[in-house]
Structures are given as structure tokens and as C-alpha cells.
Structure 1
Amino acid sequence: MSNHRIDTDENKPLMARHRGYLCLAGYLDYRVALTWQQKLMAARRDRPDLADVLLLLEHPPVYTLGQGASEAYLKFSADAAPFPVHRIERGGEVTYHGPGQLVGYPILNLRRYRMDLHWYLRQLEEVIIQTLATYDLSAYRVPGLTGVWLEGHKLAAIGIKVSRWITMHGFALNVCPDLSHFGAIVPCGITDKPVGSLAQFRPGITIADVQPHLIAAFTDIFGIDWQTLSLSELATRE
């Protein structure tokens, strides 16, 4: 399967450019990141003129379940969880976040792009596919599933929430995480496709290596002109 963009209306680049804030938040507790997302989304529901935001970060080890996720996909009891577990308002089943995983939370006003959730999910996948293409890796989609795969391994998970066309949650790209932590769950409820990492295909790769390529791909696909801010600077713009 090709890593090249399919030339359809769904994948054509957007012509208009938009301003946005890029926040490289580093190593951030999951609950703190969630609170930031909720705050940014709420502000944009009230003031849709506010600039879009992309938070890029890593989390300490944590498991999250989507709003309707089944606890049957947890291989541990609630009182013996190896890491914190949070049920949140995104779609999808259980997943793991942890060090070595590049997590992106776009807070976008889809009225500026396309008011189509299917289209938005495909664009997030395309960001990952183009990022991996910079390493001469032909990542691909699997029909009927959300995410990005490489040689039979799922390298990126995607789960979103959209309210009044403002997005939150987003994607997680496994760059060089400890994959054994996925062993305590059935990731995304998929039993027949293993989770993988970029480090399996490009040994020694780091988050710092990948992040600029992902930013470039996101910029190209969504047409955003970024101003890079810290979390404290971002707070003053809201």
C-alpha cells in the first residue's frame, strides 16, 4: 500500500491559510493536558475567532478509555492497574500513553477547514503517513479502522471529540515507547494487529528527531502559520 496522498477531493490540500499557536508542552501529566484541552475548546466554542492550537507532548504512563469503551479490553482489575486509568470523552476503545510516544492534541475550528469528521480523521492519518514517509517508510490506512499501520503493526492511534465543530483529543505516534505496556490492554479493541513503534524500523530514533517532521506535515496538510508559544504564554492569549 502506498504512502502517497490519494488525489481526491478528500485529500486535496486546503488553499486558505490560517494562524495558529504551536505549543511544545514537553512531558505533561495526562490530567493537566486534558484540563488544557477542555479550557481551549470551551474558549473557542464561545469565541470561534480565536486561533487554532496544536499541543505536542509526551505523557507519563497512563491508560485511557473512550466514552463508550469496554472494560473487557483491560487485562487487569481496577484495584491492580499498573498505571493510572482515565475514562474520557473521546471516541474509541482503550489505549496507552507514555514516554517515547509523540502525542498531538489539535484544537481546531473545523469551520475553517471542512465540517466533516470523516475528512478530519483522514487528515490526521495523513499527517502521520507523511511524517513516516520522510523516513522512507510506506505507512498506510486499514479500511474500516482509524489509525496508521506499517508492515502489519499499528504505529499511530487516533481518537477525537468535536463540539460545535471545535476539536480536541487527537493522535499518538509510537516513536520509541516501551511497547510492553500495551500488553496489559487490548489496544483500541483490536485483537489481530499488533502495536509497533517507529524505533522498530529506525533504531535509535527519538521524539526530538520526529517532531519537526510531524510539525511540517501538519502545517502542509492544514495550512496553518504557527506562532510557537509555551503553555504560560498560551494562557495569556486566551
Structure 2
Amino acid sequence: MGRDQQADQPFCEVYTLGLVPYADAWNLQKSWVSRHRQSPQPDRLLLVEHPPVYTLGQGSTTENLKFLESNPPHPLFRIERGGEVTHHCPGQLVGYPILDLKRHQTDLHWYLRQLEEVVIQTLATLGIHATRQPGLTGVWVGDTKLAAIGIKVSRWITMHGFALNVCPDLAGFEAIIPCGIADKAVGSVAQFCPGITVAEVVPLVKQSFSEVFSLRLVEAPHPE
């Protein structure tokens, strides 16, 4: 795409903040969503890693926890997104798009497939052939899940998003049944690209996100 074409594209602010406590990123998302209800806002993309944490979807069961809810090995949050329990930790790149789908398509299935496509295209640039699995959300290589997706959409404003396992310690997943799927493995990009880092993957995700959503990404300063 030429420079003139890029300039004509709608823009999206991107915030690349490194390691951020889960509660801080969650509160930032809620603040941005709230602003959309008050006045027009740009689309935004937050890219972070988290210290070890578990999150439960709004309607998820605690039966997928292998620990007592009252005594988790890492902080445990019940949040607004759909889906079951998942784990975040350093080495996992988490993307939280705050998009107004009225500017894109007001279709939740389309949006989920777009998020999967961002990850699939990112992995393709690394020579990894990733796919979808029928009836399941996320991105897979065979029966190994490399990326989880869980969203919340209110008045067509999105929050939460995708988590791509780049080079995390996967041991934390052993304390849960990830996404409620007991018969499939959780893997990482590092299993296919030894030595890879989150810093190397961030620009690839930005490029894929820009192309999939037809948005011109604008690097933004640290949010207030």
C-alpha cells in the first residue's frame, strides 16, 4: 500500500506498554470504553504483558480450576469477557483493541475471526502455519493452541482481546483447564522459533492488525 493510501486510512492509536499489572490494564480499558459513551474517540490498541494472573470469563465455571478459588497460586479475576479460565504471564503478548465496530462491521463473529486472522498472519510471517479449529475460538497449530481470544462488546465498543503465547513459562497453565478444553495442548511460538522474544513479535502483530482492520496505526504516548 502506498503512502498516500495509508494516509487516507482511518487511524488507530497503539499503546505498547510492556509489563503491566492486570488490574491496571483492565481499568485502562474500562476508562477508554467509558469515554466512547461520552464523545467520539479514536480506535485504540493496547499491547502489554502481564505478571502471572488467572482470569475467569463472566459466565465461566470454577470447575476448570485445579486450585481453590479462595487460594489461587496467582491473582484471580472474574471479568466481563466471554469464555472460560485462562492464564496470562510474561512472555505472552496480550492485545486489547478498543474499537468502535460501527466503523468496521457490527458483527461479533466477524470481529472474532478478524482477531484470529491478526494472529494467523503474524505467525505466517514467522513461517508458522496456524489455523482455526471448527467450533472453537483461538489460533492453533494442529491440536496445540498458541493464542486465546475472549472479548466483550457493549454498544459495539470492544474490550479484552487476544493473548499470543510467544515465549512464556507454560507451567501456569497446568493449574487450570485452559478455556475449558481438556483434550488439547497449550503451546508457544518459541516451540517453533527457539529464542524468539515478545519484542520481536510486537511489530509483526502491529503490521497484521493494521492490514486486517485497514487501520493506520499511530504510536501513542503513555496514557494518563
- What TM-score bracket applies, with the shorter chain setting the length? over 0.9
Aligned-partner Cα distance in 2 for 1:171–1:231? 21
2:83 partner SS = coil
* Shift in Å, 1:78: 2.4
Please tell me whether the aligned partners of residues 75 and 184 of structure 1 are also in contact (alpha carbons under 8 angstroms). yes
**Equivalents in 2 of 1:79, 1:72: separation in Å?**
13
State how far apart, in whole Å, the 1-side matches of 2:9 and 2:156 are.
18
RMSD (Å), alpha carbons: 1.0
- Taking structure 2 as the reference length, the TM-score comes to 0.95
The percent of aligned pairs where both chains have the same amino acid is: 57
Establish whether residue 156 from structure 1 lines up as the match of residue 141 from structure 2. Answer: no
The C-alpha deviation readout for 1:215-234, integer Å capped at 9, x for no partner, is 000000111112211223xx
Moved more, 183-192 or 17-26: 17-26
Q: Residue deviations 1:53-95, cap 9 Å, x none? A: 0000000000000000000000001233110000000000000
Is 1:22 equivalent to 2:14 in the alignment?
yes
Question: In structure 1, what is the Cα distance between the partners aligned to 2:71 and 2:153?
Answer: 33
SS in 2 for 1:191: coil
Could you say which residue in structure 1 is the equivalent of 2:82? 91
Question: In the alignment, is residue 173 of structure 1 matched against residue 175 of structure 2?
Answer: no
> 2:145 & 2:165 partners in 1: Cα distance?
9
Task: Find 1:37's aligned residue among 7, 10, 29.
Answer: 29
Does the CA-based 8 Å contact 1:27-1:59 persist in structure 2?
Answer: yes
Distance 1:99 1:199 in 2: 13
Contact kept, 8 Å, 1:177 with 1:197, in 2: the verdict is yes
**Counterpart amino acid of residue 134 in structure 1:** T
> What residue identity is the alignment partner of 1:64?
T
Residue aligned with 1:114, SS: coil
* C-alpha deviation, 1:128, in angstroms: 0.3
Of the three residues 208, 212, 223, the one matched with 1:217 is: 208
The match for 1:128 is 119
Contact in 1 for aligned 2:145/2:184 (Cα 8 Å)? yes
Task: Indicate the residue corresponding to 1:10 in structure 2.
Answer: none
Give the C-alpha shift of residue 152 in structure 1: 1.7
Unaligned runs of 5+ in 1: 1-15
CA distance in 2, matches of 1:98, 1:104: 13
SS at match of 1:120: helix
* Moved >6 Å (runs of 4+): none
Determine helix, strand or coil for the equivalent of 1:45.
helix
Question: What does residue 13 of structure 1 align with?
Answer: none
Say yes or no: does 1:63 pair with 2:82.
Answer: no
- In the other structure, the counterpart of 1:182 is 173
Q: How many residues are matched?
A: 217
SS in 1 for 2:70: helix
| Cα pair 2:21 2:50 within 8 Å, conserved | yes
